[in-house]
Structure 1
């Protein structure tokens, strides 16, 4: 039984008990044989959460991995999680928050500014499918921000970071919104490096979900900026095999992936038809780097099935 169904059944059960004028701790009336019957067991979300937890543990065993999950239904605040307060490397999921901060700080006119960079910038950044083609002419800042989200261009991310004060600027922006957990130390590609025993370049699933949910708040971003951000996330080419692959048919998924070696992450705004969105973060570490995408999709399927 899924989470929403359990909520409805729990409410119905409570209504019946109140109408009958009995508390759950009271004995029920005797039946015809003179024996007293036990009260029906209370229906809660605990069983659904335990079932999901068992599913995620089974996936961890199957993929020889560690999985972190945090999800919230923005309609009623229902949350589910697994290792939600444990630290994981964030990898390129961070790009959505850097771009959001850029959009918040700039006007449409400022986003038209043409920015240039060097071949060294491209070489040092690593993955540069867009910026690598425009060393000679540069691009408008809006195209750079789009490249950071749609194709996860690393040099584009570094340019965005430069515009908002570097890793320190993004750290300060997240902390100002209540995230004192995420620790951004490096730009690309160094932000993918996680040292055991240190919090540098790490976060938690709970922190990322809260950060992403915050971007939906009209007090955080203007309508135009939020719409632009979500549009770029909806066409994120790197997200197709991840949460989007595990979501039910017909559900909208606007996401940002993050991948480096054993890390495979995806954070998303997932919207069932005609309903309010679910904000979901899936962070994973698998010994086999090639299994990461399938693992994230399987985790997303298990989690989102509970919200149907």
Structure 2
């Protein structure tokens, strides 16, 4: 399949058109290049003294704990920094629950209607609050969850998977025994240090995203639609996207939680060569600390440079 060639499209009309094409059996022009599953690649760590210095300096400069895992899917080279430490996953999980929904129902199943009741609505639900008393399709809910980080849409998607336990089981089926999903939005963002609920690691997030977007768990059409949702993500311009060179294509999903938690997971397509998959996670020591987009962007930039993708 061809690599995505268009940058993020913010038009709701464009998104609706792509979704309609997929439901009619047609594929959009933008589609990911399939690569071997993570288990099929030999990965060489780029945790050199230079890498350690970069991330140590970023943590000091931004007064935060930082976790990074990035892999060049062509060479298998990886960048690691606190890659196996736990962080709250926050709304990055919406990309994975939407992917798990695709795996569960397929393209055709996305046309099923779901009633949206007033009691379903939680905070930060810009799309679903417009449909109270009516219905949205599963596809519309998944798109709203990924593209606009709509919390109610995410909860309804997870409910269709069997609740947090069902979502957790879906991740286990693709080999993720690290992530622990236990709550729904917005309470899953009420993380405190040491709490394992609704946490994961940068490595696990990267592997999950790689498996769903570039692996063979989903069909070609399902991967294409998931990729479109990620590229159309409307809240990521100051995160991994800001840390990649102009003209590269990025599909991402951001998240934020207590203790200054700020995350972004992404697939990055350079103009030539294989995609990079990356997770950048961060937190701070105070419960009400502000999160720091600049830290995520700088960490992504450093990881891309370490993978020699700017040359």
| CA distance in structure 2 between the aligned counterparts of 1:303 and 1:108, rounded to whole angstroms | 34
- For 1:299, the equivalent position in structure 2 comes to 299
Alignment of structure 1 residues 105-144 onto 2, 5 Å = 105-122=104-121, 125-144=122-141
The separation in 2 between residues aligned to 1:46 and 1:139, in whole angstroms, is 44
Conserved 8 A contact 2:90-2:256 = yes
RMSD (Å), alpha carbons: 1.7
Question: Once structures 1 and 2 are overlaid, which stretch shifts more, 183-192 or 46-55?
Answer: 46-55
- The answer to whether the 8 Å contact 2:70/2:206 transfers is yes
Within 5 Å, which residues of 2 pair with 1:185-200?
185-200=182-197
1:59 Cα deviation (Å)? 1.0
Say how many residue pairs are matched.
Answer: 262
Residue-by-residue CA offset, 1:153-207 (whole Å, 9 max, x unaligned): 0000000001111111111111121111110010111211223323111111111
Aligned partners of 2:153 and 2:248: how far apart in 1? 29
User: Is the radius of gyration larger for structure 1 or structure 2?
Assistant: 1
Aligned partners of 1:201, 1:48: CA distance in 2, in Å? 27
- Report the counterpart of residue 267 of structure 1 in structure 2: 265
Listed one character per residue, the Cα deviations across residues 51-106 of structure 1 (whole Å, up to 9, x for unaligned) are 12211111111111000000111001101110001100000000111000111111
- Which of 154, 177, 187 aligns to 2:174? It is 177
Contact 1:193/1:201, CA 8 A, preserved across alignment: no
Q: Deviations over 1:261-287 (max 9, x none)?
A: 411000000111121100000000135
Q: In structure 2, what is the equivalent of residue 69 of structure 1?
A: 68
TM-score (norm 1): 0.81
Deviates more, 1:158-167 or 1:288-297: 288-297
Higher helix share: 1
TM-score relative to the length of structure 2: 0.80
Please give the secondary structure, in 2, of the residue aligned with 1:253: strand
In structure 1, runs of 5+ residues without a counterpart are 1-44
Q: Deviations over 1:122-150 (max 9, x none)?
A: 1xx21101001110222121111100000
CA distance in 1, matches of 2:203, 2:95: 16
Match of 1:277 in 2: 275
Partner of residue 158, structure 1:
155
Give, in angstroms, the shift of residue 243 of structure 1. Answer: 0.2
The Cα offsets for residues 23-42 of structure 1, whole Å up to 9 and x where unpaired, read as xxxxxxxxxxxxxxxxxxxx
What 5-or-longer segments of structure 2 have no aligned partner? Answer: 1-43
Residue 243 of structure 1 is matched in structure 2 by 240
Give the structure 2 partner of residue 96 of structure 1: 95
